[in-house]
Structure 1
Amino acid sequence: MKVKDGDELTLGGINLKFLETPGHTPEGITILARDGEDADAPLKAFTGDTLFIGDVGRPDLVGSKGFTAEQMASMLYDSIHQKILPLSDETEIYPAHGAGSLCGKSLSSETWSTLGEQRRTNYALRPMTREEFINVVAADQPEVPAYFPLSAAQNLKGSRGLAELAKPSRLTSDELAGFDGVVIDVRQNFEYGAGHIPNSINIGLGGQFASWAGTLITIGTLVAIVADTPEQVDEAVMRLARVGIETARGFILFGDYQGKRNVVEQVLAEGALKACSDNDFQLVDVRRPAEYAGGHALNA
């Protein structure tokens, strides 16, 4: 069914009201849910990517749709101030997701909050003019993930379910050595440093795995997974598919690997700086520009 701003729908004893809240995307919506059988129950707002816990949706991800970041931020200002902030402080806020996504710069790991708490703590909800809001929400955003435009287009067309994707096959050490694609080691970084398969790249499941994979790996590239357990393989396949990478063709458990292993020596910051000073090494900072600007080692 199709709905428009202000439409309502009752399911069982729950009344749903649909609000158009563009800003992160032109088609963003918020759904208000009220318990028709409990007048004292607080209103619940499912805000999608319009309002997060601690942040709002970034406005710079839809350039391919013909809108500038400033235009989207202006829409977001109206959505926040005309549709969401007029709600009561007791309204419970449930965003689409939290920390670990690049859809904002200050997303909390909390899964819900109240609007009153967000008024007090969310930098984007403090009183400000439209121009101030546009400048604040557009500043210091991480780079747009390379996969995002392709994934957004795929979402509109519809993707296959996980059950429909080909399962990656277990590879031998020799088969992995001849694999014509990208080998991703999904273990933790200290495990990778202690020993890893040559020419593999480390994107650990514990961090922003999907975002980094989508940034570093072109959609359509064949992928092989290095993991400690079959469960890690399954998780990696699922999270890769979420950013449009549906080409995981093989895997190997690191304990089964029989070939050469490389080691990356890990040192404390003081040791790295001393090594650079004593040996004329260049310290390379591979973090994002905003992270580098927030503080970095001298001469890195």
Structure 2
Amino acid sequence: MILEQHYTKCLAQGAYYIASAGEAVIIDPLREVQQYIDRAAQDKVTIKYVFLTHFHADFVSGHVDLADKTGATIVLGPNAETSYAFAKAKHGQVFQVGAVTFTLLHTPGHTMESSCYLLKDEEGKEKAIFTGDTLFIGDVGRPDLAAKSDLSTEDLAGHLYDSLHHQIMPLPDDIIVYPAHGAGSACGKSMSKETYDSLGNQKKTNYALATDLSKEDFIKELTTGIAPPPAYFPKNVWMNKGVNSSIDEIISRGNTAMNAQSFKALVDDGDYLVLDVRTPQEYTAASIPGSWFIGLDGQFAPWVGALIENIDQKIIFIAPHGREEETVTRLARVGYDNALGYLDGGIEAWKNAGFETQQTENVTAQNFIDGLANGSVVNPIDARKPGEYNSAHVDGVPLHSLDQIHSELSTLDHSKRYHVYCGGGYRSVIFASIAAAHGIHDVVNVEGGFGAIKKTNLGTQKIVETSSCSI
């Protein structure tokens, strides 16, 4: 038997490839499916099933494309309804794959169709469980993404408690838990950076599996302090229930080179969002006026989904040379299928054509702290998440979280100068770019963010720290 976790860090997402005796199964595949087809060809096995743990909200799965290209059967748990053909499995139903078996365990709570897949090896020993968003390492799935008029968030949390206690916790301690997500995903509150663990260790360390946690307390814990889900989540759920454009078609359309003149015509059109996916340093040195920075070398797809409110937005982009197709692919992973081309030759081609650029001013963390002390920095902004801010922040610096920038911008004065920092200098450049696109042009980026600030000579400035962090 071969068992591989295919983990995508920018999505904090785990897909799985399991092969045995000439057959294979893929669990929760990404949208670009050729990687699984190639892996199966390498092992000379046939992909028999595509298992979905549930309808994901944070990415668009490639299950339909994969089934079309391989003849595999898509499997979902009870309560699932789709516009494509699939096998609706019952709780306890067994699927043979080569010499191993998978048993579907219906575990409603995160969503009502949520299911886990219990793997037994060639000897019939329980080896692993693929838990989707039912059970993470250190956490469980949020219960507020599938609420209907007849199911409240509290109702779903209660279902999740029952699923964990009746279906997961009775299993042997030595089986390995393989979840769909890890730290960085918005599908839970406080996931571990580890991407798998033994169930026994999770019983000891995961608050949600504590035997002394009552159902009432579990519901209260799970429904308290949940940050609002990104706006694109419902659209991704809807897409995962339907048949979408082929990833091959999306890449062919989006991976189109445009000269500077053609690119500028679309910039001037006003219907296109110009997305700059280079590094923060490259963006601040020179960028196209009105463009948004969301760099590839960060939590790219989740920030795209959180900040670009219209998932059907037409996008043109500037990318590092050789990473154009990657940009289109990673946009499509979260359902942004309308990338329509990139600037051939990048910002240099734009400048050589004589078109205007904008610069974003940078200051060092020490200059920022000194400016707070001498009064030259008077409008500082902390752009991190509330949990980070509540854990530790510079005394007197207000929070204007990047997550809420579209409402936060209305509180800022177009005539004032602002200094913005985040954790390490990535999100602050995003903040400055979106602010500039909305007419707030005098925003200065603090290089290195809070991480660099903590290493400065603070002088009279103080870091306020708390012992607990609200998520």
TM-score under structure 1 normalisation? Answer: 0.89
Name the CA distance, whole Å, in 1 between partners of 2:325 and 2:108.
35
**Partner AA of 1:173 in structure 2:** A
Q: Say if 2:170 is the partner of 1:86.
A: yes
Question: How many Å apart are 1:158 and its aligned residue?
Answer: 2.3
Q: Say if 2:357 is the partner of 1:261.
A: yes
Task: After TM superposition, list the pairs within 5 Å mapping 1:236-275 onto structure 2.
Answer: 236-252=327-343, 253-258=346-351, 259-275=355-371
Unaligned runs of 5+ in 2: 1-86, 399-471
Aligned to 2:194: 110
**Partner AA of 2:248 in structure 1:** A
> Does 9-18 or 169-178 show the bigger shift?
169-178
Task: After TM superposition, list the pairs within 5 Å mapping 1:11-90 onto structure 2.
Answer: 11-35=97-121, 37-38=122-123, 42-63=126-147, 66-90=150-174
Q: Say if 2:259 is the partner of 1:189.
A: no
> Does 59-68 or 47-56 show the bigger shift?
59-68
Relative to 1, partners in 2 of residues 1:140 and 1:208: Cα closer, same or farther, differing over 3 Å? farther
Name the CA distance, whole Å, in 1 between partners of 2:297 and 2:228.
21
Name the CA distance, whole Å, in 1 between partners of 2:167 and 2:316.
46
Aligned to 2:260: 173
Relative to 1, partners in 2 of residues 1:64 and 1:268: Cα closer, same or farther, differing over 3 Å? farther
Assess if the C-alpha contact under 8 Å between 1:64 and 1:149 holds in 2. no
Name the CA distance, whole Å, in 1 between partners of 2:155 and 2:247.
36
Question: How many Å apart are 1:90 and its aligned residue?
Answer: 0.4
Aligned to 1:203: 294
Question: How many Å apart are 1:149 and its aligned residue?
Answer: 0.9
Identity %: 39
Name the CA distance, whole Å, in 2 between partners of 1:116 and 1:50.
16
Could you list the per-position Cα deviations for residues 245-300 of structure 1 after superposition, in whole angstroms to 9, with x for gaps in the alignment? 11001112345432433322333444334435523631123333333333333142
SS at 1:228 equivalent: coil
Name the CA distance, whole Å, in 2 between partners of 1:256 and 1:42.
58
TM-score under structure 2 normalisation? Answer: 0.59
Could you list the per-position Cα deviations for residues 96-138 of structure 1 after superposition, in whole angstroms to 9, with x for gaps in the alignment? 2323321112223333211012122223222311122122223
Count of aligned positions = 297
Assess if the C-alpha contact under 8 Å between 2:286 and 2:347 holds in 1. no
Assess if the C-alpha contact under 8 Å between 1:142 and 1:290 holds in 2. no
Name the CA distance, whole Å, in 1 between partners of 2:149 and 2:316.
33
SS at 2:375 equivalent: helix
SS at 1:26 equivalent: coil
Name the CA distance, whole Å, in 2 between partners of 1:131 and 1:229.
54
Which residue of 322, 330, 345 corresponds with 1:230? 322
Report 1 or 2 for greater relative contact order, CA contacts < 8 Å, sequence distance ≥ 6. Answer: 1
Q: Say if 2:384 is the partner of 1:287.
A: yes
Assess if the C-alpha contact under 8 Å between 1:54 and 1:118 holds in 2. yes
Relative to 1, partners in 2 of residues 1:55 and 1:224: Cα closer, same or farther, differing over 3 Å? same
Assess if the C-alpha contact under 8 Å between 2:147 and 2:156 holds in 1. no
